[in-house]
Structure 1
Amino acid sequence: MSKEIKILIVEDDENLRFLVAHRLQSENYQILETGDGETAEKLIMSEKPDIVLLDWMLPGKQGSEICEKVRSLGFDKLIIMMTAKAQDVDKIDAYNFGASDYVTKPFNMDVLVAMLESKVKFLQNADKPEVHKFGEMEHHPNIHTLFSKGKKIELTILENRILLYFLRNPGKVINRDELMLVVWGYNSDVNTRTLDMHIVRLRKKIEVNPDNPQLLQTVRGVGYKFNI
Protein backbone atom coordinates (compact mmCIF):
# COMPACT_ATOMS: atom_id res chain seq x y z
CA MET A 1 0.00 0.00 0.00
CA SER A 2 1.41 3.40 -0.95
CA LYS A 3 1.90 5.80 1.93
CA GLU A 4 1.23 8.66 -0.52
CA ILE A 5 4.21 10.45 1.02
CA LYS A 6 6.61 12.07 -1.41
CA ILE A 7 10.27 12.34 -0.37
CA LEU A 8 12.95 14.27 -2.28
CA ILE A 9 16.52 13.06 -1.71
CA VAL A 10 19.16 15.74 -2.39
CA GLU A 11 22.57 14.06 -2.18
CA ASP A 12 25.58 14.35 -4.51
CA ASP A 13 27.06 10.97 -3.50
CA GLU A 14 25.42 8.73 -6.11
CA ASN A 15 25.96 5.50 -4.19
CA LEU A 16 24.40 6.84 -1.02
CA ARG A 17 21.54 8.41 -2.95
CA PHE A 18 20.84 5.09 -4.70
CA LEU A 19 20.88 3.18 -1.40
CA VAL A 20 18.54 5.62 0.36
CA ALA A 21 16.19 5.83 -2.64
CA HIS A 22 16.10 2.06 -3.00
CA ARG A 23 15.34 1.48 0.67
CA LEU A 24 12.66 4.17 0.88
CA GLN A 25 10.97 2.89 -2.30
CA SER A 26 10.83 -0.55 -0.68
CA GLU A 27 9.01 1.15 2.23
CA ASN A 28 6.44 2.45 -0.32
CA TYR A 29 7.46 6.09 -0.31
CA GLN A 30 7.29 8.05 -3.56
CA ILE A 31 10.84 9.12 -4.30
CA LEU A 32 12.35 12.03 -6.22
CA GLU A 33 16.12 12.51 -6.29
CA THR A 34 18.86 14.86 -7.41
CA GLY A 35 22.53 15.55 -6.64
CA ASP A 36 22.39 19.18 -7.63
CA GLY A 37 21.34 22.22 -5.59
CA GLU A 38 19.80 24.27 -8.41
CA THR A 39 17.66 21.33 -9.54
CA ALA A 40 16.73 20.65 -5.90
CA GLU A 41 15.29 24.17 -5.49
CA LYS A 42 13.19 23.81 -8.64
CA LEU A 43 11.95 20.34 -7.66
CA ILE A 44 11.01 21.45 -4.15
CA MET A 45 8.94 24.33 -5.47
CA SER A 46 7.31 22.44 -8.36
CA GLU A 47 6.75 19.03 -6.71
CA LYS A 48 6.11 20.18 -3.12
CA PRO A 49 7.46 16.98 -1.50
CA ASP A 50 6.22 16.13 2.02
CA ILE A 51 9.79 15.57 3.23
CA VAL A 52 13.13 16.76 1.82
CA LEU A 53 16.28 14.85 2.82
CA LEU A 54 18.87 17.52 2.14
CA ASP A 55 22.64 17.07 2.20
CA TRP A 56 24.41 19.75 4.25
CA MET A 57 27.42 19.90 1.89
CA LEU A 58 26.57 20.08 -1.82
CA PRO A 59 28.91 21.17 -4.63
CA GLY A 60 28.45 24.85 -5.37
CA LYS A 61 25.72 25.35 -2.80
CA GLN A 62 25.23 24.52 0.86
CA GLY A 63 22.11 22.75 1.99
CA SER A 64 21.44 25.67 4.32
CA GLU A 65 21.24 28.07 1.33
CA ILE A 66 18.72 25.84 -0.43
CA CYS A 67 16.71 25.51 2.75
CA GLU A 68 16.68 29.26 3.34
CA LYS A 69 15.71 29.96 -0.28
CA VAL A 70 12.74 27.56 -0.45
CA ARG A 71 11.53 28.70 2.99
CA SER A 72 11.58 32.30 1.74
CA LEU A 73 9.48 31.16 -1.23
CA GLY A 74 6.88 29.70 1.12
CA PHE A 75 7.80 25.97 1.24
CA ASP A 76 6.59 24.80 4.66
CA LYS A 77 7.02 21.02 4.64
CA LEU A 78 9.66 19.02 6.54
CA ILE A 79 13.32 19.54 5.62
CA ILE A 80 15.73 17.08 7.24
CA MET A 81 19.41 17.94 6.90
CA MET A 82 21.91 15.11 6.34
CA THR A 83 25.23 16.05 7.91
CA ALA A 84 28.54 14.18 8.06
CA LYS A 85 29.59 15.12 11.58
CA ALA A 86 27.63 15.23 14.80
CA GLN A 87 29.54 18.38 15.78
CA ASP A 88 28.17 20.18 12.71
CA VAL A 89 24.69 19.89 14.14
CA ASP A 90 25.33 22.92 16.33
CA LYS A 91 25.92 24.92 13.15
CA ILE A 92 22.51 23.87 11.86
CA ASP A 93 20.62 26.71 13.44
CA ALA A 94 17.09 25.76 12.52
CA TYR A 95 15.86 29.28 13.02
CA ASN A 96 18.33 30.90 10.71
CA PHE A 97 17.33 28.89 7.71
CA GLY A 98 14.44 26.66 8.62
CA ALA A 99 15.64 23.04 8.91
CA SER A 100 13.10 20.83 10.70
CA ASP A 101 15.53 18.18 11.93
CA TYR A 102 18.73 16.40 10.96
CA VAL A 103 20.35 12.98 10.65
CA THR A 104 24.12 12.31 10.86
CA LYS A 105 26.02 10.29 8.25
CA PRO A 106 26.85 7.49 7.98
CA PHE A 107 23.38 6.53 9.16
CA ASN A 108 21.91 3.15 9.76
CA MET A 109 19.07 2.72 7.21
CA ASP A 110 16.78 1.25 9.87
CA VAL A 111 17.36 4.33 12.02
CA LEU A 112 16.54 6.62 9.07
CA VAL A 113 13.38 4.66 8.25
CA ALA A 114 12.25 4.72 11.89
CA MET A 115 12.81 8.47 12.05
CA LEU A 116 10.80 9.02 8.85
CA GLU A 117 8.02 6.72 10.11
CA SER A 118 7.64 8.84 13.24
CA LYS A 119 7.58 12.04 11.15
CA VAL A 120 4.99 10.57 8.79
CA LYS A 121 2.78 9.56 11.70
CA PHE A 122 2.63 13.20 12.76
CA LEU A 123 2.18 14.41 9.17
CA GLN A 124 -0.84 12.14 8.83
CA ASN A 125 -2.27 13.50 12.08
CA ALA A 126 -1.44 17.07 11.13
CA ASP A 127 -4.90 18.26 12.15
CA LYS A 128 -3.89 17.42 15.75
CA PRO A 129 -0.21 18.37 16.05
CA GLU A 130 1.83 17.11 18.98
CA VAL A 131 1.78 19.57 21.88
CA HIS A 132 3.11 18.95 25.40
CA LYS A 133 2.01 21.04 28.38
CA PHE A 134 3.97 21.33 31.61
CA GLY A 135 3.70 24.00 34.28
CA GLU A 136 2.79 27.21 32.51
CA MET A 137 4.52 26.08 29.33
CA GLU A 138 3.55 24.48 26.07
CA HIS A 139 6.06 22.73 23.80
CA HIS A 140 5.31 22.61 20.06
CA PRO A 141 8.07 20.28 18.76
CA ASN A 142 7.20 20.63 15.08
CA ILE A 143 8.07 24.32 15.17
CA HIS A 144 10.90 24.05 17.80
CA THR A 145 8.99 26.44 20.03
CA LEU A 146 8.01 26.84 23.67
CA PHE A 147 5.22 29.13 24.77
CA SER A 148 5.44 30.44 28.32
CA LYS A 149 2.37 32.43 29.38
CA GLY A 150 1.89 33.26 25.70
CA LYS A 151 5.50 34.36 25.24
CA LYS A 152 7.42 32.56 22.49
CA ILE A 153 10.78 30.93 23.28
CA GLU A 154 12.70 29.48 20.35
CA LEU A 155 14.62 26.21 20.73
CA THR A 156 17.54 24.92 18.69
CA ILE A 157 17.15 21.54 16.94
CA LEU A 158 19.15 19.88 19.72
CA GLU A 159 17.25 21.53 22.59
CA ASN A 160 14.03 20.57 20.82
CA ARG A 161 15.08 16.91 20.59
CA ILE A 162 16.25 16.79 24.21
CA LEU A 163 13.08 18.37 25.59
CA LEU A 164 10.81 16.23 23.40
CA TYR A 165 12.47 13.02 24.60
CA PHE A 166 12.01 14.04 28.25
CA LEU A 167 8.38 15.04 27.67
CA ARG A 168 7.65 11.70 26.02
CA ASN A 169 9.28 9.93 29.01
CA PRO A 170 8.14 11.92 32.07
CA GLY A 171 9.52 10.82 35.42
CA LYS A 172 11.83 8.23 33.84
CA VAL A 173 15.53 8.33 34.75
CA ILE A 174 17.35 8.60 31.41
CA ASN A 175 21.05 7.85 31.32
CA ARG A 176 23.43 10.05 29.39
CA ASP A 177 24.31 7.43 26.75
CA GLU A 178 20.65 6.86 25.86
CA LEU A 179 20.07 10.60 25.61
CA MET A 180 23.14 11.13 23.41
CA LEU A 181 22.02 8.36 21.08
CA VAL A 182 18.53 9.86 20.77
CA VAL A 183 19.73 13.42 20.32
CA TRP A 184 22.87 13.12 18.20
CA GLY A 185 22.06 9.78 16.62
CA TYR A 186 23.71 6.57 15.67
CA ASN A 187 27.55 6.73 15.42
CA SER A 188 27.65 9.90 17.44
CA ASP A 189 31.09 11.20 18.39
CA VAL A 190 29.97 13.78 20.95
CA ASN A 191 30.94 13.60 24.60
CA THR A 192 28.94 13.92 27.79
CA ARG A 193 30.30 17.44 28.40
CA THR A 194 28.57 18.60 25.20
CA LEU A 195 25.31 17.04 26.38
CA ASP A 196 25.58 18.68 29.81
CA MET A 197 26.19 22.04 28.14
CA HIS A 198 22.94 21.70 26.15
CA ILE A 199 21.06 20.71 29.31
CA VAL A 200 22.32 23.91 30.99
CA ARG A 201 21.09 25.99 28.02
CA LEU A 202 17.73 24.25 28.02
CA ARG A 203 17.29 24.83 31.76
CA LYS A 204 17.75 28.57 31.19
CA LYS A 205 14.69 28.44 28.92
CA ILE A 206 12.38 26.26 31.02
CA GLU A 207 13.31 26.64 34.70
CA VAL A 208 12.15 29.40 37.05
CA ASN A 209 15.59 29.15 38.70
CA PRO A 210 18.06 27.31 36.41
CA ASP A 211 20.57 26.98 39.30
CA ASN A 212 18.00 25.01 41.29
CA PRO A 213 16.15 23.04 38.58
CA GLN A 214 12.74 21.64 39.52
CA LEU A 215 11.79 20.20 36.13
CA LEU A 216 14.95 18.86 34.49
CA GLN A 217 16.80 17.26 37.37
CA THR A 218 20.23 15.64 37.48
CA VAL A 219 20.34 12.08 38.78
CA ARG A 220 23.87 11.86 40.15
CA GLY A 221 26.08 9.30 38.40
CA VAL A 222 23.33 8.25 35.98
CA GLY A 223 21.79 11.02 33.94
CA TYR A 224 18.63 13.10 34.13
CA LYS A 225 14.91 12.93 34.70
CA PHE A 226 12.04 15.27 33.92
CA ASN A 227 9.34 16.05 36.49
CA ILE A 228 6.08 17.30 35.09
Structure 2
Amino acid sequence: MIKDRELVAEMAEDTAPLMTLGTILVIEDDPRMQKVLRRIFTEEHYSILVAGDGQTGLEMFRTERPLAVVLDLILPHLSGRELCQTFKNLSSNIPVIVLSAITEVVDKVLLLELGADDYVTKPFSPRELTARVQAAIRRQRKPTSQEVYRFADCEIDFKKMTAARSGSTVMLTAHEFKLLKFFTENAERVLTRDILLNEVWGYNFYPTTRTVDNQILKLRQKLEHDPANPRHLLTIYGAGYKFVP
Protein backbone atom coordinates (compact mmCIF):
# COMPACT_ATOMS: atom_id res chain seq x y z
CA MET A 1 0.00 0.00 0.00
CA ILE A 2 2.81 2.37 0.88
CA LYS A 3 4.53 1.53 -2.39
CA ASP A 4 1.32 2.31 -4.27
CA ARG A 5 1.07 5.72 -2.59
CA GLU A 6 4.73 6.40 -3.40
CA LEU A 7 4.15 5.48 -7.04
CA VAL A 8 1.13 7.79 -7.26
CA ALA A 9 3.17 10.61 -5.68
CA GLU A 10 5.99 10.10 -8.18
CA MET A 11 3.53 10.11 -11.07
CA ALA A 12 1.92 13.30 -9.78
CA GLU A 13 5.33 14.93 -9.46
CA ASP A 14 6.27 13.92 -13.00
CA THR A 15 3.04 15.31 -14.44
CA ALA A 16 2.85 18.47 -12.30
CA PRO A 17 3.05 21.65 -14.38
CA LEU A 18 6.36 23.46 -14.01
CA MET A 19 7.12 27.12 -14.58
CA THR A 20 9.45 27.43 -17.55
CA LEU A 21 11.38 30.29 -19.11
CA GLY A 22 10.08 29.37 -22.57
CA THR A 23 10.48 26.70 -25.23
CA ILE A 24 13.76 25.72 -26.88
CA LEU A 25 13.48 23.77 -30.14
CA VAL A 26 16.33 21.28 -30.53
CA ILE A 27 16.85 19.84 -34.03
CA GLU A 28 19.31 16.97 -33.75
CA ASP A 29 19.22 13.46 -35.23
CA ASP A 30 21.51 11.72 -32.71
CA PRO A 31 19.34 10.20 -29.91
CA ARG A 32 22.21 10.40 -27.40
CA MET A 33 22.79 14.08 -28.12
CA GLN A 34 19.04 14.70 -27.95
CA LYS A 35 19.03 13.26 -24.43
CA VAL A 36 22.02 15.40 -23.38
CA LEU A 37 20.49 18.60 -24.74
CA ARG A 38 17.10 17.85 -23.19
CA ARG A 39 18.74 17.44 -19.78
CA ILE A 40 20.89 20.58 -20.13
CA PHE A 41 18.00 22.90 -20.99
CA THR A 42 15.49 21.26 -18.64
CA GLU A 43 17.89 21.92 -15.76
CA GLU A 44 17.90 25.59 -16.82
CA HIS A 45 14.07 25.62 -16.57
CA TYR A 46 13.26 25.64 -20.29
CA SER A 47 10.60 23.55 -21.98
CA ILE A 48 12.15 21.41 -24.75
CA LEU A 49 10.88 20.28 -28.14
CA VAL A 50 13.06 17.78 -30.00
CA ALA A 51 13.00 17.05 -33.74
CA GLY A 52 15.08 14.27 -35.26
CA ASP A 53 15.05 15.55 -38.84
CA GLY A 54 14.88 18.82 -40.72
CA GLN A 55 11.31 18.54 -42.00
CA THR A 56 9.91 17.80 -38.52
CA GLY A 57 11.96 20.66 -37.15
CA LEU A 58 10.50 23.05 -39.71
CA GLU A 59 6.94 21.94 -38.90
CA MET A 60 7.55 22.40 -35.16
CA PHE A 61 9.04 25.84 -35.76
CA ARG A 62 5.98 26.93 -37.74
CA THR A 63 3.46 25.67 -35.19
CA GLU A 64 5.26 26.42 -31.91
CA ARG A 65 7.31 29.59 -32.57
CA PRO A 66 9.96 28.70 -29.95
CA LEU A 67 12.02 31.08 -27.85
CA ALA A 68 15.20 29.85 -29.59
CA VAL A 69 16.46 27.05 -31.84
CA VAL A 70 19.50 24.82 -31.29
CA LEU A 71 20.30 23.39 -34.71
CA ASP A 72 22.57 20.63 -35.94
CA LEU A 73 23.89 21.04 -39.48
CA ILE A 74 23.80 17.48 -40.83
CA LEU A 75 20.18 16.31 -40.76
CA PRO A 76 17.89 14.00 -42.73
CA HIS A 77 15.47 15.53 -45.28
CA LEU A 78 16.51 19.18 -44.85
CA SER A 79 20.01 20.43 -44.08
CA GLY A 80 20.78 22.74 -41.20
CA ARG A 81 21.89 25.43 -43.66
CA GLU A 82 18.53 25.36 -45.46
CA LEU A 83 16.67 25.40 -42.14
CA CYS A 84 18.66 28.31 -40.77
CA GLN A 85 17.86 30.49 -43.76
CA THR A 86 14.19 29.41 -43.75
CA PHE A 87 13.81 30.12 -40.03
CA LYS A 88 15.21 33.62 -40.43
CA ASN A 89 12.91 34.28 -43.39
CA LEU A 90 9.91 33.13 -41.34
CA SER A 91 10.82 34.91 -38.11
CA SER A 92 14.06 36.87 -37.93
CA ASN A 93 13.67 37.62 -34.21
CA ILE A 94 13.92 33.97 -33.07
CA PRO A 95 17.61 33.23 -32.40
CA VAL A 96 19.23 30.22 -34.07
CA ILE A 97 22.29 28.70 -32.43
CA VAL A 98 24.11 26.19 -34.62
CA LEU A 99 25.61 23.20 -32.79
CA SER A 100 27.90 21.22 -35.04
CA ALA A 101 31.08 19.14 -35.21
CA ILE A 102 32.11 21.07 -38.33
CA THR A 103 34.92 23.43 -37.34
CA GLU A 104 35.92 25.03 -40.64
CA VAL A 105 35.88 28.81 -40.49
CA VAL A 106 34.24 29.08 -43.92
CA ASP A 107 31.23 27.10 -42.64
CA LYS A 108 30.89 29.32 -39.59
CA VAL A 109 31.03 32.44 -41.74
CA LEU A 110 28.44 31.03 -44.15
CA LEU A 111 26.05 30.19 -41.32
CA LEU A 112 26.39 33.64 -39.81
CA GLU A 113 25.73 35.16 -43.24
CA LEU A 114 22.58 33.02 -43.49
CA GLY A 115 21.39 34.50 -40.20
CA ALA A 116 22.65 32.19 -37.46
CA ASP A 117 23.00 34.07 -34.18
CA ASP A 118 25.85 31.94 -32.87
CA TYR A 119 27.88 28.80 -33.63
CA VAL A 120 28.98 26.28 -30.98
CA THR A 121 31.35 23.47 -31.93
CA LYS A 122 31.01 19.88 -30.68
CA PRO A 123 32.26 18.73 -28.23
CA PHE A 124 30.98 21.61 -26.13
CA SER A 125 30.71 22.81 -22.56
CA PRO A 126 27.09 22.71 -21.31
CA ARG A 127 27.73 25.95 -19.42
CA GLU A 128 28.99 27.69 -22.54
CA LEU A 129 26.10 26.42 -24.66
CA THR A 130 23.41 27.60 -22.24
CA ALA A 131 25.19 30.93 -21.80
CA ARG A 132 25.34 31.48 -25.56
CA VAL A 133 21.65 30.55 -26.01
CA GLN A 134 20.61 32.86 -23.17
CA ALA A 135 22.79 35.65 -24.55
CA ALA A 136 21.16 35.31 -27.99
CA ILE A 137 17.71 35.46 -26.40
CA ARG A 138 18.64 38.58 -24.43
CA ARG A 139 20.03 40.29 -27.53
CA GLN A 140 16.71 39.79 -29.33
CA ARG A 141 14.79 41.23 -26.37
CA LYS A 142 17.12 44.20 -25.90
CA PRO A 143 15.46 47.57 -26.55
CA THR A 144 17.05 50.10 -28.89
CA SER A 145 19.73 51.86 -26.91
CA GLN A 146 20.20 55.61 -26.70
CA GLU A 147 23.19 57.15 -28.45
CA VAL A 148 23.48 59.81 -25.74
CA TYR A 149 22.78 58.67 -22.18
CA ARG A 150 22.54 60.98 -19.17
CA PHE A 151 22.49 60.16 -15.48
CA ALA A 152 23.26 62.38 -12.49
CA ASP A 153 25.81 64.91 -13.83
CA CYS A 154 27.23 62.47 -16.41
CA GLU A 155 26.66 62.57 -20.17
CA ILE A 156 27.83 59.65 -22.31
CA ASP A 157 27.77 59.72 -26.12
CA PHE A 158 28.19 56.10 -27.16
CA LYS A 159 28.29 56.86 -30.88
CA LYS A 160 31.08 59.46 -30.59
CA MET A 161 32.62 57.61 -27.62
CA THR A 162 32.85 60.73 -25.48
CA ALA A 163 32.02 61.14 -21.80
CA ALA A 164 31.68 64.12 -19.47
CA ARG A 165 30.94 64.69 -15.78
CA SER A 166 29.85 68.11 -14.56
CA GLY A 167 30.81 69.45 -17.98
CA SER A 168 34.39 68.16 -17.79
CA THR A 169 35.70 65.54 -20.18
CA VAL A 170 36.19 62.05 -18.77
CA MET A 171 38.52 59.68 -20.62
CA LEU A 172 37.05 56.19 -20.96
CA THR A 173 38.63 53.26 -22.76
CA ALA A 174 36.75 51.50 -25.56
CA HIS A 175 36.07 48.59 -23.24
CA GLU A 176 34.81 50.88 -20.47
CA PHE A 177 32.34 52.35 -22.99
CA LYS A 178 31.23 48.83 -23.90
CA LEU A 179 30.72 47.83 -20.26
CA LEU A 180 28.89 51.05 -19.41
CA LYS A 181 26.64 50.67 -22.47
CA PHE A 182 25.64 47.19 -21.34
CA PHE A 183 24.84 48.54 -17.88
CA THR A 184 22.68 51.37 -19.27
CA GLU A 185 20.81 48.94 -21.52
CA ASN A 186 20.05 46.82 -18.44
CA ALA A 187 19.44 49.54 -15.86
CA GLU A 188 18.04 48.36 -12.50
CA ARG A 189 18.76 44.73 -13.41
CA VAL A 190 21.13 42.66 -11.26
CA LEU A 191 23.89 41.34 -13.54
CA THR A 192 26.06 38.45 -12.44
CA ARG A 193 29.76 38.42 -13.20
CA ASP A 194 29.19 35.49 -15.58
CA ILE A 195 26.64 37.51 -17.57
CA LEU A 196 29.05 40.45 -17.79
CA LEU A 197 31.92 38.18 -18.84
CA ASN A 198 29.84 36.59 -21.58
CA GLU A 199 28.15 39.74 -22.88
CA VAL A 200 30.94 42.30 -22.58
CA TRP A 201 34.17 40.32 -22.75
CA GLY A 202 33.03 37.22 -24.64
CA TYR A 203 33.98 33.61 -23.99
CA ASN A 204 36.89 33.66 -26.41
CA PHE A 205 38.73 36.10 -24.14
CA TYR A 206 38.62 33.86 -21.04
CA PRO A 207 38.89 36.64 -18.45
CA THR A 208 38.35 36.13 -14.72
CA THR A 209 35.70 37.56 -12.43
CA ARG A 210 38.43 39.74 -10.95
CA THR A 211 38.68 41.43 -14.35
CA VAL A 212 35.05 42.52 -13.99
CA ASP A 213 35.64 43.88 -10.48
CA ASN A 214 38.67 45.90 -11.60
CA GLN A 215 36.86 47.38 -14.60
CA ILE A 216 33.88 48.48 -12.50
CA LEU A 217 36.23 49.98 -9.92
CA LYS A 218 37.79 52.13 -12.67
CA LEU A 219 34.36 53.24 -13.91
CA ARG A 220 33.41 54.26 -10.38
CA GLN A 221 36.60 56.28 -10.02
CA LYS A 222 35.79 58.16 -13.23
CA LEU A 223 32.02 58.62 -12.93
CA GLU A 224 31.01 58.46 -9.24
CA HIS A 225 31.36 61.49 -6.93
CA ASP A 226 32.36 59.14 -4.10
CA PRO A 227 33.79 55.91 -5.60
CA ALA A 228 33.97 54.29 -2.15
CA ASN A 229 30.22 54.83 -1.70
CA PRO A 230 28.79 54.53 -5.22
CA ARG A 231 25.25 55.62 -6.04
CA HIS A 232 25.02 54.31 -9.59
CA LEU A 233 27.33 51.29 -10.08
CA LEU A 234 26.22 49.23 -7.13
CA THR A 235 27.55 45.95 -5.78
CA ILE A 236 24.81 43.44 -4.96
CA TYR A 237 26.60 41.17 -2.53
CA GLY A 238 26.37 37.48 -3.40
CA ALA A 239 24.81 38.26 -6.79
CA GLY A 240 26.74 40.76 -8.92
CA TYR A 241 26.28 44.39 -9.92
CA LYS A 242 23.42 46.75 -10.72
CA PHE A 243 23.36 50.10 -12.52
CA VAL A 244 20.96 52.69 -11.08
CA PRO A 245 20.62 55.91 -13.15
TM-score of the aligned structures, taking structure 2 as reference length: 0.50
Partners of 2:27 and 2:54 within 8 A in 1: yes
Once the two structures are overlaid, the 10-residue window that deviates more, 126-135 or 18-27, is 126-135
Q: Look up the match of 1:25.
A: 42
Q: Structure 2 regions of 5+ residues with no counterpart?
A: 1-17, 148-156, 162-173, 181-200, 207-245
Aligned counterparts of 2:54 and 2:123: Cα–Cα separation in 1: 21
Equivalent residue, structure 1, for 2:51? 34
Distance 2:121 2:46 in 1: 21
By how many angstroms is 1:103 displaced? 0.8
Structure 2 counterpart of 1:37, which letter? G
Task: Give the structure with higher Rg (CA).
Answer: 2
Trace 1:49-198 onto structure 2 (pairs within 5 A): 49-88=66-105, 90-94=107-111, 96-123=113-140, 125-128=141-144, 133-135=158-160, 168=178, 182=204
Q: 1:128 to 1:180 in 2, by over 3 A?
A: closer
What is the DSSP-based 3-state SS (H/G/I as helix, E as strand, rest coil) of the residue aligned with 2:19?
coil
Deviation per CA, 1:2-31: give whole Å up to 9, x if none: 343210000111101111111111110111
User: Equivalent residue for 1:7?
Assistant: 24
User: Which of 39, 47, 61 matches 1:44?
Assistant: 61
Does the C-alpha gap of structure 1 residues 46 and 4 become closer, same or farther in structure 2, counting only changes over 3 Å? same
**Contact 1:45/1:75, CA 8 A, preserved across alignment:** no
Spell out, residue by residue over 1:78-136, the C-alpha distance to the aligned partner (whole angstroms, 9 max, x if none).
0111121332564442464221111111101111122223334444x433469894548
Q: 1:91 to 1:22 in 2, by over 3 A?
A: closer
Gap regions ≥5 residues in structure 1: 137-163, 171-178, 186-228
**Could you tell me how far apart the structure 2 residues matched to 1:57 and 1:181 are?**
25
> How far apart are the structure 1 equivalents of 2:146 and 2:124?
26
Q: Secondary structure at the match of 1:93?
A: helix
SS in 2 for 1:25: helix
* Shift in alpha-carbon separation, 1:129–1:100, aligned structure 2, 3 A: farther
Q: For 1:178-228, what per-residue CA distance to the aligned partner results, in whole angstroms no more than 9, with x for missing partners?
A: x99618x9xxxxxxxxxxxxxxxxxxxxxxxxxxxxxxxxxxxxxxxxxxx
What SS does the aligned partner of 1:58 have?
A: coil
Letter in 2 for 1:116: V
Deviation at 1:68, TM superposition (A): 1.5
- Whether contact under 8 Å (2:26, 2:50) holds in the other structure is yes
The change in CA–CA distance for 1:28 and 1:69 in structure 2 (over 3 A counts) is: same
Alpha carbons 2:97, 2:133 under 8 Å: kept: no
In the aligned structure 2, how far is the partner of 1:41 from the partner of 1:130? Answer: 36
Which residue number corresponds to residue 195 of structure 2? none
- Secondary structure of residue in 2 paired with 1:60: coil
SS of residue matched to 2:135:
helix
- TM-score normalised by structure 1 residue count: 0.53
Q: 1:25 to 1:95 in 2, by over 3 A?
A: closer
